[in-house]
Amino acid sequence: MKRKVTVVGGAGNVGATVARQIAEKELADVVIIDIAESKAAGVGLDIYETCPIIGSDVRVIGGSDWGPAAGSDIVVITSGKPRGPNMSRDDLVRDNFNIMKSIAPKLVEHTPDAIIIPGRQPARRDGAGALQARPSFRKSGSSAWPACSTRRA
């Protein structure tokens, strides 16, 4: 059975890159979820239509509906605001934590058994948001993001 990875915020820069890498390496079917519904659908279609050309046999879909995410093995969360001018990393906590709080009930409802990989800033606080929603969530730190952030700190 094929694996399934959902990328929340997958219409954005980081999420679309993650989705494309997973699909092109034929690691799993990919579900892209984003509040920017039509952009998510377009990004998903672009990636999906590339796959046969490079020999990857996966399905990729995009939109704002969480239904297709059901049964995901992994959920990567890249939905978040990038740090703007004059913002400290701590300034990101408030806005991105609120985004995470809005996503957490969807994780509980649609992907309760998935491993959750927070990939936006600040990653450690994301874990707290997800774990508040359901203590049994399996959360994984992503190796690249924290390493990158640590080097910048």
Which residues of the shown chain bind ligand NAD in the complex (CB under 6 A)? 8-9, 11-15, 33-36, 78-83, 96, 99, 102-103, 120-121, 145, 148-149
C-alpha to C-alpha distance for 43 and 25, rounded to whole angstroms: 17
In the complex, minimum distance from the CB of residue 60 to ligand NAD, in angstroms, rounded to a whole number: 16
For ligand NAD, the closer CB: 9 or 44? 9
In the complex, minimum distance from the CB of residue 28 to ligand NAD, in angstroms, rounded to a whole number: 19
In the complex, minimum distance from the CB of residue 123 to ligand NAD, in angstroms, rounded to a whole number: 7
For ligand NAD, the closer CB: 79 or 111? 79
C-alpha to C-alpha distance for 93 and 114, rounded to whole angstroms: 24
In the complex, minimum distance from the CB of residue 55 to ligand NAD, in angstroms, rounded to a whole number: 27
3-state secondary structure of 97: helix
Do residues 103 and 8 touch, judged by C-beta distance below 8 A?
yes
Spell out a b/e string for 5-21, using b for 16 or more CB atoms within 10 Å of the CB, else e: bbbbbbbbebbbebbbe
For ligand NAD, the closer CB: 13 or 54? 13
Angle between helices 144-152 and 123-133 (to 10 degrees): 130
In the complex, minimum distance from the CB of residue 7 to ligand NAD, in angstroms, rounded to a whole number: 10
For ligand NAD, the closer CB: 38 or 52? 38
For ligand NAD, the closer CB: 29 or 126? 126
Q: Who's near 27: CB < 8 A, 6+ residues apart?
A: 3, 5, 58
Residue nearest ligand NAD, Cβ-based = 12
